[in-house]
Structure 1
Amino acid sequence: MAYIDLHAVANFSSYFATSLFFLIAFIYICTFITRYDEWKLIKEGNNLAASIALSGSVIGYAIAVNGVLKNAVNFHDFVIWGIVALITQVIAIVIVRFMFMPKFAERIENNESQAAIIAAAFYIAVGLLNAGCMTY
């Protein structure tokens, strides 16, 4: 007969639900700080560039949260470092969109995939660095 550890299931559920909450909050924050409506560009405009940029930012943050999950010593530690990861990723997005590529919004609205690919690569790289820095 299989043994089910209810404490482990509860831990999994709380960490997973919080991770999903973080991811959804991150997506809302990302789409809020853009000067264009990413969802409208993606859903109605078939805008590949918007899809690439948003996907890169989501993947980058998910990588960072994965690093936090692997290294957190308890749930409280996970929540704190998940927020730190979120702030770090948002700062990276702001740097790319407003400092490195001042015309980023126009390029995405014009469906210029080149800008989106560079941005997505940067977001994923920051997520990897973020995750690596959260090992202790």
Structure 2
Amino acid sequence: MEIELFIGFISFFLTALALVIVFLYLYAIVTPYDDYKLIFEENNTAAALGFGGAIIGVAIPMYSALTNSISYIDFAIWGGVAIIIQLIFAFIVTRLNGKYSFKTKISEGVIPVGILMAFLSICIGLLNAGSMSY
């Protein structure tokens, strides 16, 4: 019986990890700037903060899906929903233009905008998680 519990744990954990990795890949596609280049090549703190907030923002509803799901398939579906909601948010916010352009400000390394992006992503993640209650 203990091995079955461990296999269940590993299944859920690895699936959650795979979903986060998929999110990391898709987030970089959805944002109009190259997150990885800004972070790893240009040492852009604003981009790192925004990206880090996005990771936490998707992990929160992923946790909610893990704890509230009634089956493995239920978890996988709600984990996918969590990713989609976070990606839609990132797509919309990074397309704002003018003086509130996240794309421009993050690309320029404006740290307060990166912090705001992080907090907004976490906020959406919390709302996303709270909406997953049964």
TM-score normalised by structure 2 residue count = 0.93
Rounded Cα–Cα distance in structure 2 between residues aligned with 1:125 and 1:82: 17
Q: Which amino acid is the alignment partner of residue 79 of structure 1?
A: A
RMSD between superposed Cα atoms in Å: 1.5
Say whether 1:103 aligns with 2:101: yes
Residue of structure 2 equivalent to 1:122? 120
Say whether 1:36 aligns with 2:30: no
Residue of structure 2 equivalent to 1:132? 130
Per-residue CA deviation, residues 76-135 of structure 1 (Å, 9 max, x unaligned), is: 100111111111111111221114876222211110011111111110011011111111
- Number of matched residues? 133
Q: Which amino acid is the alignment partner of residue 106 of structure 1?
A: T
Q: Extract unaligned runs of 5+ from structure 2.
A: none
Q: 1:45 to 1:125 in 2, by over 3 A?
A: same
Larger Rg: 1
Q: Which amino acid is the alignment partner of residue 104 of structure 1?
A: F
Percent of aligned pairs with the same amino acid? 38
DSSP 3-state at the match of 1:98: coil
Rounded Cα–Cα distance in structure 1 between residues aligned with 2:51 and 2:87: 12
Per-residue CA deviation, residues 29-73 of structure 1 (Å, 9 max, x unaligned), is: 000112221111111211100100100001000001000001000
Q: Which amino acid is the alignment partner of residue 97 of structure 1?
A: T
Q: Extract unaligned runs of 5+ from structure 1.
A: none
Rounded Cα–Cα distance in structure 2 between residues aligned with 1:99 and 1:133: 26
Q: Which amino acid is the alignment partner of residue 110 of structure 1?
A: E
Rounded Cα–Cα distance in structure 1 between residues aligned with 2:89 and 2:125: 9
* Deviation of the 1:9 alpha carbon: 0.4
Residue of structure 2 equivalent to 1:50? 47
The answer to whether the 8 Å contact 2:68/2:133 transfers is yes
